[in-house]
Amino acid sequence: MTPPDFNALGDDDFRARVREFFAQHYPPHLRFVLRRARLAEMKAWYLTLSRHGWIAPNWPREYGGMGLDTGKMIILLEETERYGVSRVPDHGIVQVGPILMKYGTPGQQQFYLPKILTGEHIWGQGYSEPNAGSDLASLATSAVPDGDDFIVNGQKIWTTLAHDSTHIYLLARTSREGKKQEGISFLLVDAASPGITIRPIRNIAGHEEFCEVFFDNVRVPQANLVGGLNKGWTVAKALLSFERINIGSPRRPQYALKRLEQLAHAKGLFEDPGFVDKFTALELDLADLGSLYARYVEVVKRGEELGQEVSMLKIWAMEAWQRLTDLLIETAHEYGGMPGEHSMDGVDVDVLSPFYYARPGTIYGGSSEIQRNILAKYVLKLPS
């Protein structure tokens, strides 16, 4: 089904359409799940989005996407957070699609893109390794040419939902000459290839969201190379500036703030000046993040590229979110050390799920420390 041109709608109309769509189609039991939902839970929603032409909001319409402009994209994401809609396994849509449109061959585009839209292919990201985390460019998984193939050996880790993926996009070392960034290639790998072993890793919240993936003499056709030999670093870095701003949205921590507010009301804590000060400080941390975020949104809407300063948003959003969930468990007293939902002064709250859910944000996508290094170097121009 070809979706309409949503960009032609006014912002308020589009927002109303999104709300209506979620209310009509999104499974109520999957609102605010506070963890990365598995494919089995999300598959029906994936297919609903696909059927209505809503699965790839960021893709141009000629590729079967919604072709949303940045302003509309932000509205969609705001409403997604507001309604508590879980992410589908979306690496194919968010990462592989745009990368193939920019760097893929016509053959790669024709083969892979439609299968992402239909949900036939689900992608996992093979970037991090046990010894290449923040220092990603030192990755060691190797891809050695052999006839028409590469032979891939090595180990990837923190691969989100790899056990739900049919395919993995991989950064592998194809050269040990020169700078370490210049010897990396970007490969598309069928997860069913012989020699791949996927092992889920349980996280501290008890969920198996990510995995380690072992490659033992895995044959990958050379036709699956994207962007040219040793150009993988450039391909991986070429994320739209939009993706970098989304992570700093003030919407994500709102759920925890609402729960905290609800719990504090039930406990009468708004009579306690000490609590009010802590709560208001956090409320303003988010409100002020909103002001800063809106400033960057305006930049993107004008079609300008965001500079490295956007790292600020991620640091502040993720750390404020964590402070908020810290106060949530403090406010829950004894229940702050007990998993699951509990009745506290007449309200049912699970405080540990939001607390755990907020933890990895300062680690993934460049840890807070790496973001600070980036700001120090590129924005404050401090010497290294």
Coil, strand or helix: which one is 200?
strand
Count how many Cα atoms sit within 13 Å of the Cα of residue 6 in the half-sphere of its side chain: 31
Kindly state the smallest distance separating residue 57's Cβ from another protein, in Å.
Answer: 26
- 295, 304, 308, 338: which one contacts another protein (CB under 8 A)? 295
The distance in angstroms from the start CA to the end CA of the chain is 53
Q: Which of 243, 298, 330, 369 is catalytic?
A: 243
Interaction of residue 304 with another protein, rule CB under 8 A:
no
Active site residue 209: no
- Region from 119-127, 225-233, 289-297, 341-349 binding another protein, contact rule CB under 8 A: 289-297
Binding flag, residue 383, another protein (CB under 8 A): yes
Nearer to another protein, 273 or 346 (CB): 273
One symbol per residue from 256 to 275: x for binding another protein (CB under 8 A), - otherwise; what is it? --------------x--x--
Q: What are phi and psi of 253, to 5 degrees?
A: -75, -5
| DSSP code string of 277-318 | HHHHHHHHHHHHHHHHHHHHHHHHHTTPPP-GGGHHHHHHHH
Among 142, 166, 193, 373, which residue sits at the site for another protein (rule: CB under 8 A)? 373
Residues 306-325 that bind another protein (CB under 8 A): 309, 312, 315-316
Write out the two tokens for 368: 């807070």
- Cβ proximity of 155 and 149 under 8 Å: no
Nearest to 251 by CA among 112, 25, 84, 73: 84
Stretch that binds another protein, among 131-139, 205-213, 242-250, 373-381 (CB under 8 A): 373-381
Nearer to another protein, 313 or 351 (CB): 313
CB of 138 vs another protein, minimal distance in Å: 19
Contacting another protein (CB under 8 A), which of 24, 62, 291, 346? 291
| Residue whose CB is less far from another protein, 23 or 281 | 281
Judged by beta carbon, residue 189 or residue 317, the one nearer another protein is 317
Query: Least distance (Å) from another protein to the CB of residue 64?
Result: 35
- String of DSSP letters for 339-384: -S-EEETTEEE--HHHHHHTSGGGTTTS-HHHHHHHIIIIIS----
Q: How far apart are CA 312 and CA 45, in angstroms?
A: 33
Two tokens, residue 293: 């975020």
**Is 16 an interacting residue with respect to another protein (CB under 8 A)?**
no
Which member of 243, 284, 338, 343 binds another protein (CB under 8 A)?
284
By C-beta, is 96 or 269 nearer to another protein?
269
Cβ closer to another protein: 2 or 384?
A: 384
CA distances from 144 to 26, 255, 318 (A): 45, 47, 39
- Give whichever of 35 and 372 is closer to another protein, judged by the CB atom: 372
Point out which residues pair with 55 in neighbouring strands: none
- Beta-bridged to residue 214, according to DSSP, are 155, 197
Q: Is 230 left (phi over 0), alpha (psi -120 to 50) or beta?
A: left
d(CA 151, CA 213): 15
217 binds another protein (CB under 8 A): no
- For position 279 contacting another protein by CB under 8 A, the verdict is yes
| 294 scored as a contact of another protein (CB under 8 A) | yes
Catalytic residues: 243
Binding-site ranges for another protein (CB under 8 A):
270, 273, 276-277, 279-281, 283-284, 287-289, 291-292, 294-295, 309, 312, 315-316, 369, 372-373, 375-376, 379-384
